[in-house]
Copies of this chain bind each other. A is one copy, B any other.
Amino acid sequence: MPAVRLALAQTNPVVGALKANSDQIVEFTRRAVAAGADLVGFGEMAISGYPIEDLATRPSFLRSAHDSVLALATRLKEEGLGDVPVIVGYPDGPFDPRLEGTSNAPTAIAQNCAGVLYGGELIGRQAKFHLPNYSVFDEYRNFIPGDELIVLRIGDVDVALAVCEDIWRDGGPVSRVSSADAGVLFVINASPYERDKDDIRLPLVQKRSLETDTVVAYVNLVGGQDDLVFDGDSVVVDQHGRILARAPQFEEHLLIVDVQAEAATPPSITEGINRIELPKRGGAKPPLASDIAELPDDREQIWNALVLGLRDYVEKNGFPSVILGLSGGIDSSVVASIAADAIGADRVYGVSMPSRHSSDHSRGDADDLAERIGVHYRTEAIIDLVTPFETQLHLDGLAAENLQARVRGVILMGLSNAEGHLVLTTGNKSELAVGYSTIYGDSVGGFGPLKDVPKMLVWELARWRNEAAAARGEVPPIPENSISKPPSAELRPGQEDQDSLPPYEDLDAILDAFIGRRFGPQDIADLGYPPELVDDILRLVDRAEWKRRQSAIGTKISQMAFGRDRRLPITYRPHG
């Protein structure tokens, strides 16, 4: 079987930053060409970043994206890179939705495309067939589906293209790949990290290789984009599903591999297929080392996802540093540790904000943490700030408890405004789910690294991080006492979480069933939990939903209000 050298460019684009992303593509292409690649492929929407959400409905943005692709093709040629085909994901448009007949998404004017750049031109584009519209995906809302498959003949190997979801569903491109007699299926993706997702993704790729009798090259984006983290983990498998090459998770990587593919024959079918023939690039093929990354264990993967998610939020939004309250508790200790791993301790500012209810051990643990990690650290006692409110407004009970949390929020935002830090909030998923926090108090902040991390997992991650440090001969960052002591909000004397909440083991398990698996109350009780406990927890969740009603929405009187119908991605700042 003929050989072909594939390059999978696992890049970290920024949503909306067309110019910077194009620069990145040129740079990776240069490296791939130097390494003798016959074909270079980038992730889904590598030129615009992913997800672009409602930007897909802006004609001016689509025109800019289209123009960027043309400019990129020109530039690749000018830089002597025009003789290798480059597959690059981008949004194309604007198209007239009436012409395209997308009756259920009349505002969709874009297609999610894989463009083929060669010889200074965009010589072909394949639009994604299957547009996911569940979980974090809103593609059917924003895109018009495609219906044509590209098969690129490179010398004597046929390479079929697919875009992400197209290989997750039967029908569409995948069903045509076998009959198209392709040797390679090249799939460009923007597949976000989820716990255990590699347990689904790799077997899927392997299944498709067997079904289509092709080499499957799967290239993914990497990097944090708002609440999503793309984990990379790009992979190439042969016709039998065996791994030929695999990129590491959570970092940019250029994965280069030689594959043996079925020789191209005269095409048996052409309907619905755009066949493009290109000569195989000549030139030297430097020898390649095997490049198969090992996946670390689950806890390390999660830690790495949280670190990259925070780092890219800080960097892509241009914050110089972060600031957070350090209470000596497990949540703030873990967040500080993630932040130091993400951007370096020198860019992390901790503030201890003791109240009259803060215990000595809390202050001691916070001091200890700050010293272990080496973050900037100051103490701002809140008593002289809280008392005037209590006195003037006559607050007591719950209102006074919340007041302490809100005064801390005002301190952090004041320091943020004065010194430029991004405020980190430290709440975990269990706490948020049951509303065990103060609105406009400890919930203040631009990014919450533990927002999707249940409490039991926070402890697990803390232990893992300390063990990893110990294994490297470093000081474990998180004080043992912060891990082992019973958690407390310390808003009143002697308060402990378990006075108000069920044991975290049960809480987390029941929340996982309710939120993660969409179980109803009866389904959860059927797992063996006492119905009263289930009921108590679901009441807390309902109550938390109700509490969240106190963050502003407002009556909509126009097509385009803010909020729901204006889903602008976070890092899009084309004008400033």
Find chain B residues with CB under 8 A from A543 CB: 576
Which chain A residues in 409-467 approach chain B with CB under 8 Å? 409-411, 413-418, 422-423, 425, 427, 429, 432-433, 439-440, 443-453
Docked CA distance A135–B521 (Å):
33
Q: Is A480 an interface residue (CB 8 A)?
A: no
- Shortest CB–CB separation between residue A397 and chain B, in angstroms? 8
Expressed in whole angstroms, the minimum distance between the Cβ of A519 and any Cβ of chain B is: 7
Pairwise interchain contact B134-A556, C-beta atoms closer than 8 A:
no
Give the shortest distance, in Å, between A504 (CB) and chain B (any CB). Answer: 17
CB distance from A510 to the nearest CB of B (A): 12
Candidates B395, B399, B446; contact of A552 at CB < 8 Å: B446
A398–B417 touching, CB < 8 Å = yes
What residues of B have a CB within 8 angstroms of the CB of A60 in the complex? 519-523
Contact B550 A445 (CB under 8 A): yes
The distance in angstroms between the C-alpha atoms of A560 and B194, with both chains bound, is 10
Distance in Å from the Cβ of A389 to the closest Cβ of chain B? 6
What is the CB-to-nearest-CB distance from A352 to chain B, in angstroms, rounded to a whole number?
A: 14
**Mask: chain A, 171-200; 1 = CB below 8 Å from B; 0 = not:** 100000000000000000000111100000
Who on chain B is nearest to A452 by CB? B561
| A392 interfacial contact with B, CB 8 Å | yes
Assembled-state Cα–Cα distance A574/B403 (Å): 30
Are the C-beta atoms of A194 and B451 separated by less than 8 Å?
Answer: no
Q: How far is the CB of A442 from chain B (nearest CB, A)?
A: 10
Check if A472 is an interface residue, CB within 8 A of chain B: no
Residues from chain B with a CB closer than 8 A to the CB of A557 are: 193-195, 229, 302, 305-306, 452-453
7 contacts between A and B (CB under 8 A): A104-B169, A406-B410, A425-B552, A432-B562, A449-B555, A451-B563, A452-B562
Within A522-547, the residues touching B (CB, 8 Å) are 522-523, 535, 538-539, 541-543, 545-546
| Residues from chain B with Cβ under 8 Å of A195 in the complex | 557-558
Bound CA span A557–B301, Å: 10
